[in-house]
A and B are shown apart, each in its own frame.
Chain A
C-alpha cells in the first residue's frame, strides 16, 4: 500500500491541493479548498483562523485522522491518501503524537501507564527510563504513580505531551492545547512544546485561535473559509492579532 514516491527530505508533512467536503449536493460544506502547504521538519507551526475556517480539518488531514476529498497528504514520505483505516492507525501510533484541548488521559491508568500506552499498543518494548526522562522533561518527575484525577489541568496537559513524545513521533499535533488552561499554565505548556522543537528537533503543528499561543511558533499560517489566506514568520502576539483582525474584517 505504501507509495514509493519520495517526499522532499526536509519536509515532515506536506499537503498538496487538498480539498475536503462534508455532505453532498446543496447541503455540502467545503471545509478545505485546494490547500497546499508544507511543514518543514523541526519547526513549530501554528494554524490560526476563526471558528469554521477549516483549521481543525487541516490538522485532521495532516495527522491522518481524516481523509481529504481530493489532493494528497504525505507524512514522513508516506502517501496517506491510499491507506486503509488499520494502516492509518498503525502509522498514526508510530509517527504522530496527539495533544487535545481536554480529556487526553485514560482516568483508570496511572500517569506512567498513560505515557507508555502508545508503546504498549504498538507492542513495542516499554522503556521506563525513557518514559521517566520524558516525564522529567515535562516537569512531572516522580509523579508516575499518580492518577489523572489527582493532577491539575496544566499537569494533565503536560502528561499528554509526554505521552505524545514517548514514541519519538515525526509530528506532534496539538489541538488548542492551552484552551482549557489559565494563561500562566498555558504559557508553561507552550514553552514545553517550544523546547521540544529547539532541543530535540520535534515537528509541531498546533491549531489555535489565541495569538498569544501562536507567538511561540516559528511560522503562523492563517485560514479563512477553507482557504490558506496568509502566513507570517515568528511574530509577537500583537502583530498576530492585528493580522487576524485584518483577515476577519
Chain B
C-alpha cells in the first residue's frame, strides 16, 4: 500500500500541496520559537571584564525558597544582590589569596552625559589612581573638562564636586574605591569582589577557601563569572525564555489545528479515489495504511522544508527583539539540533495521529460510492466527536464561570484556558456549528440573492463538513487576532484611565538615569509654592511560596494623597497594598504581610492601607526607609509635585539636572513606554496570526479547487462563470461571517475573563475602528482565497472538467 501511496503522490502531488504547506509552516513555527527558547537556555553569559579574574564573589541573584515538606521554588531577583565590603578584608586574610579587587558600578550624570561610574580598582586602567575627592574621566565624557579642573558628578545620593586627575580612553567615570559605594547610595556594599590566588594555588582550591568565609554570597569561576558581570543578560534570558515559551505554546497548539485540518481536508478531497480502491478490493486496513503512508511522506518532506524558514524566522524575531531593546545584543541566537528534531518529530507524530483519524473515516467509505453520483457526505458528526465537543464546551463554560467569580491572576489563568478549550470545542463541533450557522444565514441569503445566494446557502448546508474545515481556521485566526489586539488595548486603556484618574499632581520632575536623590525631594518640598512633592521609585517584590512578582513603588517626601489619588489610606511612611494582593494574601489593614524585597530580603511590615486602583502603578507601596537599601539605584525615578493654587515655584532650581513635565507630557511618556509592550505583543502574536492566515488561505484554496467538476457542471447547464463566482463569493462571505462571529465570540468571552483580572469594573475595550479593520481583513482573506482558485478552476472549458477525473 505504501507503493500505491507513493505512486498516487507522484501523480497527484497538487492534492498534497495544502497538507504540505500547512505542515511545513507548522514546523517553521515550532523551529522558530524552539530556537528562541533554546537560545534563552543556552546562550552563554561569558565573562568579559572578569575574564582575567580567576574567582569572583557576588551576591546570589537566584532566590531559592524551601517550604512545606521538601517543596521549593526559585526566582531570579529583580534588584541586584550586592555583597558586603567587609568581605574584602576577610578574603584578603586567606593564605591562598594574593590580591582582592572590589568592584562596583552605578549610573551617574557628568557634563550632561549619562554615564556609568566605576571604582578605580575594578578596572584595569593605566595611570595614577584617583584619591578621595578626585576622578578620572573617559575621553567621550570629559568634553572640555581639563585635568586639574573640578567637575560635578551627579549620582543617586547627590552631587559630588570632584577634581579631574586623569583622562583615559572610553566613556567611563572612575572614582576612588573608598568613595564609590557611598556615591552609589549603597554604603558598605559592592557588586562583586575579584580574587587572585598566590602562585601555585589552583583555582578550585582558592574557590573552596573563599567559599568558607563569604556566607551567603556565591563564589564563581570559569564561565559562571559572567552571571555576576551581566545580571541584566541573565534576566533577559529568563524573560526571553518566558516569552518564547508562552508564544511557542500557542504556536504549537495552532500548528496542531492547522496540520490536522489540512490533512483531513486532503483526504476528504479524494473520497472517490479511495472508494475506487475499496471497489477493487482494498481492505479498510490497507486504506488506513495508505493514508498514513501518504501522511508520513508529506510530514517528512514538509519537516525538512520547514527547518530553514523556521531558522530564518527565529533570526528575524531575534533581530527585532534586540532592535527594540527587549533583549540585549549580548544574548545571541544559539542554533542547535534540538529544536529541529523536536519540531520535525512532533510534526511527523501529529500528522500520523491526524492521518490515522482521517484514514479511519476514509476506510469507512463504501466501495459502491465510487460509482455513485458523487462522494456522499459522511454523517454530519460522529457520536464520539459530538460527546468530546460537548465535553470541551462544558469545560470552557465551567472555567469561564471560575474566571468570572475570581479576580487577579486566577481569573487571567482561567481565561487563558478558556480560549484554548473553546477553540478545541469549535474544532470538534465544527460541522454542527457550520450546519446551524448556514441554516440560519441561509434563510435571508436565499432572499437576497436568488441564484448565487441560493446555491451558496444550499451547498453550505448540505456540505457542512466542508464548510467546517474552512470555517475553523477563520475562527481561530479571528479569535487570536481579537485577543492579541484587544487584550493589549483593554490593559492599556484601563491603565491609562487609572493612571489619569490617580494622578492629581500637576508637575512631574525627573533627572535622567541617576534619578532624583531624596535630598532633592526634600528641597522640592521646602520650596515655597509647593504643596507636596513625592518621589517614587519602581521596584518589585516577591510574594508567596511560588515567589510571585508584584510591581511596587517606593515613596519618599511629602503628603502622598496630595499627588496621587489612591483609593485607600496611604502615606510615604507606611506600607499599603492593592485590594487584589490583599485578597490573594488574605490580609486586612493592621495585619502583617510577609514578602521579599527586590533583592530577596524578607520583611513582614504591618499593612496600613489597602487601595483599589493599582493598574500602571503597582500592588505594593513601600516607605523609603524600608526598601531603598534593597534596590539597584536608590533615587526617585520621578517626583510628583502638587503646586499650591496660583503659585509658580521654580522647580528646576531645586537641584541640578531636573526636568519638569506637566501632567499631559508625563502621561504621554508613560503611554510611549506602554507602546513598547504593545509592539512586542503585536510582533509575537502577529507571527501566529500570520501563520493561521496562511492556513485559512491554504484550506480555502484546497476546498475550492476540489470543486472544479461542480463548477463545470453548473456552467454546462447554463451558469455563466460570473454566476459561479457570485455563488462562491456568497459562500466565502458566509464562511467569513460565521468565522468572524465565532472568533469574535471566543475572543470576547476570553477578554471578559481577562478584564475581570484587571480589577472590578474593567470592561473589554474594543475600539470599533480596529474591530472593523480586523473583520474586513478576515473577510477579504476568505473571499480572495476562495475566488482566486475558483477563477483558476474555471479556466478550462467546462466540458473537459466535467469528465470522470475529479
Determine which residue in B374, B462, B463, B718 has the highest number of CB atoms from chain A within 10 A of its CB, and name it. B718
Q: Given A120-B454, A121-B451, check contact A106 B716 (CB 8 Å).
A: no
Residues in A68-125 with C-beta less than 8 Å from chain B = 85-86, 89-90, 92-94, 98, 100, 102-109, 113, 117-118, 120-123
Question: A residues within 8 A CB of B462?
Answer: 107-109, 147
Inter-chain contact A104/B713, CB cutoff 8 Å:
yes
Q: Which residues of B contact A107 (CB under 8 A)?
A: 373-377, 462
Q: Which of B673-727 contact A (CB under 8 A)?
A: 709-710, 713-723
Q: How far is the CA of A104 from the CA of B720 in the complex (A)?
A: 17
What is the distance, in angstroms, from A84's C-beta to the closest C-beta of chain B?
11
Interface residues of A in 112-167 (CB under 8 A from B): 113, 117-118, 120-123, 147-149, 151, 153, 156, 163, 167
Question: Across the interface, which residues of A come within 8 angstroms of B373, CB to CB?
Answer: 102-105, 107, 148-149, 151, 153, 156
Q: How far is the CA of A147 from the CA of B804 in the complex (A)?
A: 20
Query: Count of A residues near B, CB < 8 Å?
Result: 36
Determine whether the beta carbon of A66 is less than 8 Å from that of B717.
Answer: no
Q: Is A227 an interface residue (CB 8 A)?
A: no
B802 near A: Cβ within 8 Å? yes
Report A-chain residues with C-beta under 8 Å of the C-beta of B722.
86
Cα–Cα distance between A37 and B715 once the two chains are bound (Å): 27
Interface string of B361-385 (1 = CB under 8 A from A): 0000000000111111100000000
Q: Which residues in B have their C-beta under 8 angstroms from that of A118?
A: 717-718
For the complex, is A247 an interface residue (Cβ under 8 Å from B)? no
Question: Judging by beta carbons under 8 Å apart, are B714 and A89 in contact?
Answer: no
Judging by beta carbons under 8 Å apart, are A149 and B372 in contact?
Answer: yes
Q: How far apart sit A110 and B799, CA to CA, in the bound complex (Å)?
A: 23
Does A65 contact B798, Cβ atoms closer than 8 Å? yes
> Does B276 sit within 8 A of A, measured CB to CB?
no
- Residues of A close to B719: CB separation below 8 A: 89, 93, 121
Q: Is B450 an interface residue (CB 8 A)?
A: yes
Interface membership of A60, Cβ < 8 A: yes
Give chain B nearest CB distance to A64 CB in angstroms: 11
Q: Is the CB of A93 within 8 A of B710?
A: no
Query: Is A149 a contact of B374 with CB atoms below 8 Å?
Result: yes
CA distance A109 to B462 in the complex (A): 8
The reply to whether the CB of B101 lies closer than 8 angstroms to some CB of chain A is: no
Question: In the complex, what residues of A have CB within 8 A of residue B718's CB?
Answer: 89-90, 92-94, 118, 121-122, 167
B663 at the interface (CB under 8 A from A): no
Q: Cβ of A89: which chain B residues have Cβ within 8 Å of it?
A: 715, 718-721
Is B394's CB within 8 Å of the partner chain A?
no
Q: CB distance A66 to B799 under 8 Å?
A: yes
Contacts of A163 in B (CB 8 A): 717
Residue interface mask A150-186, B partner, CB < 8 A = 1: 0101001000000100010000000000001000000
Interface membership of B658, Cβ < 8 A: no
- Any chain A CB within 8 A of the CB of B559? no
Distance, CA A121 to CA B720, complexed state (A): 8
Q: Is B458 an interface residue (CB 8 A)?
A: yes
Which chain B residues numbered 325 to 356 have a C-beta less than 8 Å away from chain A? none
Question: How near does chain A come to B800, taking the closest CB pair, in angstroms?
Answer: 10
Contact between B458 and A113, CB atoms less than 8 A apart:
yes
Contact pick for A108, options B458, B799, B802, B804, CB 8 Å: B458
A98–B717 touching, CB < 8 Å: yes
Question: Least Cβ distance of B18 to chain A in Å?
Answer: 22
- In the bound assembly, the distance between CA atoms of A98 and B798 in angstroms comes to 13
B458 with A109: CB separation less than 8 A: yes
Cα distance A161–B84 in the bound complex, in angstroms: 99
Contacts of A104 in B (CB 8 A): 373, 713
Chain A residues near B146: list those with CB within 8 A: none
Q: Which residues of B contact A113 (CB under 8 A)?
A: 458
Does B797 reach chain A (CB closer than 8 Å)? Answer: yes
**Is A108 a contact of B463 with CB atoms below 8 Å?**
yes
B211 on the A face (CB < 8 A): no
B518 CB → nearest A CB, Å? 78
Q: How many residues of B contact A (CB 8 A)?
A: 33
Indicate if the CB atoms of A65 and B458 lie closer than 8 Å: no
Q: Which residues of B contact A100 (CB under 8 A)?
A: 716, 802
Give the residue among B372, B373, B713, B719 with the most A Cβ atoms within 10 A: B373
Residues in B416-452 with C-beta less than 8 Å from chain A: 450-451
Smallest CB–CB gap between A69 and chain B, Å?
A: 15
B459 within 8 A of A: yes
List the B side residues contacting A109 at CB < 8 Å.
458, 462
Nearest opposing residue in chain A for B369, CB measure: A149
Complex CA distance for A89 and B723, rounded to whole angstroms: 11
CA distance A156 to B802 in the complex (A): 16
B374→A86 contact, CB < 8 A: no
Docked-complex contact B450 and A123, CB < 8 angstroms = yes
**Cα distance, A60 to B717, chains bound together (Å):** 13
Q: Which B residues are CB-close (under 8 A) to A167?
A: 718
| A residues in contact with B723, CB < 8 Å | 121
CA distance A167 to B377 in the complex (A): 30
Alpha-carbon distance A180/B371, docked complex (angstroms)? 9
| Complex-state Cα separation, A105 to B804, whole angstroms | 13
Q: A148-B373, A148-B374, A149-B376 are in contact. Are A103 and B709 (CB under 8 A)?
A: yes
The residues of A that contact B454 with a CB separation of less than 8 Å are: 120
Contacts of B721 in A (CB 8 A): 85, 89
Q: How far is the CB of A27 from chain B (nearest CB, A)?
A: 18
Check if A106 sits within 8 Å of B710, measured CB to CB.
Answer: yes
B465 to nearest A CB, angstroms? 12
- Residues of the A chain whose Cβ atoms lie less than 8 Å from the Cβ of B709: 103
B374 near A117: Cβ-Cβ < 8 Å: no
Residues of B within 8 A of A153 (CB): 371, 373
Which of B375, B458, B720 has the most chain A CB within a 10 Å cutoff? B720
Q: Are the C-beta atoms of B713 and A90 separated by less than 8 Å?
A: no
- Give the residues in chain A near B713, CB-CB below 8 Å: 103-106
**Within B454-471, which residues are at the interface with A (CB < 8 Å)?**
454, 458-459, 461-463
Chain B residues with CB under 8 A of A93: 717-719
Q: Which residue of B lies closest to A117 (CB)?
A: B717
| Chain A residues within an 8 Å CB radius of B463 | 108
Q: Are B459 and A108 in contact (CB under 8 A)?
A: yes
Complex alpha-carbon distance, A15 and B709, angstroms:
29
CB of A18, distance to nearest CB on chain B (Å): 17
Q: Please, how many angstroms separate the alpha-carbon atoms of A8 and B458 in the complex? A: 43
Q: Whole-angstrom distance from the CB of B669 to the nearest CB of chain A?
A: 60
Query: Among B377, B720, B799, B802, which residue has its beta carbon within 8 angstroms of that of A103?
Result: B802
Would you give the shortest CB distance from B276 to chain A, in whole angstroms?
A: 13
Which residue in chain A gives the minimum CB-CB distance to B718? A93
B450, B709, B719, most chain A CB atoms within 10 A: B719
Contact of A121 with B797 at beta-carbon distance under 8 Å, contacts A100-B802, A107-B374, A108-B462 already known = no
Give A170-221 interface residues, CB cut-off 8 Å to B.
Answer: 180
Residues of B within 8 A of A121 (CB): 451, 714, 717-719, 723
CA distance A123 to B373 in the complex (A): 27
CA distance A25 to B9 in the complex (A): 34
Closest to B454 in A: A120
Q: Which residues of B contact A86 (CB under 8 A)?
A: 720, 722
**A148 — which chain B residues lie within 8 A by C-beta?**
373-374
Nearest A residue (CB) for B710 = A106
Contact status of A102 and B450, CB under 8 A, knowing A92-B718, A107-B462, A121-B717: no
Cβ distance A63 to chain B, nearest Cβ, rounded Å: 9
- In the complex, the chain A residue whose C-beta lies closest to that of B722 is A86
Q: List 28 A-B contacts (CB under 8 A).
A: A60-B799, A65-B797, A66-B799, A86-B720, A89-B718, A89-B721, A93-B717, A93-B718, A94-B718, A98-B717, A100-B716, A102-B804, A105-B373, A107-B374, A107-B376, A108-B461, A108-B463, A117-B717, A118-B718, A120-B450, A120-B454, A121-B714, A121-B719, A147-B462, A149-B376, A149-B377, A151-B373, A153-B373
Chain A contact residues, CB within 8 Å of chain B? 60, 65-66, 85-86, 89-90, 92-94, 98, 100, 102-109, 113, 117-118, 120-123, 147-149, 151, 153, 156, 163, 167, 180
> Knowing that A90-B720, A102-B373 are A-B contacts, what are 11 other residue pairs whose CB atoms are under 8 Å apart, sorted by A's residue number?
A60-B799, A65-B716, A66-B797, A85-B721, A89-B720, A93-B719, A103-B802, A106-B713, A121-B718, A122-B718, A149-B376
